[in-house]
Amino acid sequence: MKSSWLAALAASMAMTGASFAAETPTTIIKPGEDTLEITTLKAAGGEVILPTAKDKTQNHDQYSYAAVRRLGKTLYLSGVIAGRLPGEGTDVESLKTALRRAFSTIQRNLKAAGSDMEDIADIQTFADFKGPNFKGDTATLLATYVEVKNEFIKPPYPAETVVGVANLAEPDGIMEIRVTANVRGKPRKKGAPQ
């Protein structure tokens, strides 16, 4: 299944003229890749917000998606992968690390767009409950997810849906978290403190 996704991605990239690296780059934000270098692009009814250089050069320019899209007073964030980086395990503590990294990325993306975690109206989470990247059961994965999510999001909670999937597009992914939020302020400027 995962190789078919890569084949589809390669075909899509070939049609758009994008190159395919020998090793597929991960969309998971690694330490050091989270420095704000905000790029905004005008778009119908709002703008596209690309918080980091990786969001611009890899995710937008190569894979053809925006980290954040503002339409009127609503922010739509692309899914953020909670997944393993090289050397990380498949246990609960490693899952917590991956989830904290994902929620930190969501928080950074919201701040780059002038909002924050309390502005989230809806969360959609896609979980690979039986994948190779977490060696626990469904109940443990969900309990761990809720525990870490609640470190970042306080009551009153947003609407939420969690869906089980056969696999995620990111080979090392465990969960993909997508949010919709209200626009509170203006986007931060390039180089602004986080």
The CATH number of whichever domain residue 69 belongs to comes to 3.30.1330.40
- Grouping H, G, I as helix, E, B as strand and the rest as coil, residue 191 is coil
> What's the confidence (pLDDT) of residue 138?
97
The residue to which tokens 């050069």 are assigned: 57
* Separation between Cα atoms, residue 103 and residue 81, nearest integer Å: 9
The string of pLDDT tens digits covering residues 113-172 is 999 999 999 999 999 999 999 999 999 999 999 999 999 999 999 999 999 999 998 999
Residue 111 within a domain: yes
Q: Over 50: is that where the pLDDT of 21 sits?
A: no
Residue 187 within a domain: no
Residue 189 within a domain: no
Residue 115 within a domain: yes
Mean pLDDT of 53-61: 90
Q: Over 80: is that where the pLDDT of 4 sits?
A: no
Consecutive H or E run containing 159? strand 159-164
As given in the structure block, the two tokens for residue 189 are 């400027």
Whether the pTM exceeds 0.95: the reply is: no
Residue 87 within a domain: yes
Q: Which residues, 6 or more positions from 170, have their beta carbon under 8 angstroms from its beta carbon?
A: 26, 27, 28, 81, 83, 176
The string of pLDDT tens digits covering residues 62-101 is 999 999 999 999 999 999 999 999 999 999 999 999 999 9
Residue 15 within a domain: no
List the domain range (segments joined by +) for residue 93.
Answer: 27-182
Residue 14 within a domain: no
Angle (nearest 5°) at CA 77 between 19 and 141:
95
> What's the confidence (pLDDT) of residue 33?
78
Cβ burial 149-167 (10 Å sphere, 16+ → b, else e): beebbeeeeeeeebeeeeb
Domains: count for the chain: 1
Residue 190 within a domain: no
| Residue whose C-alpha is closest to residue 133's, from 76, 94, 77, 106 | 94
> What's the confidence (pLDDT) of residue 19?
43
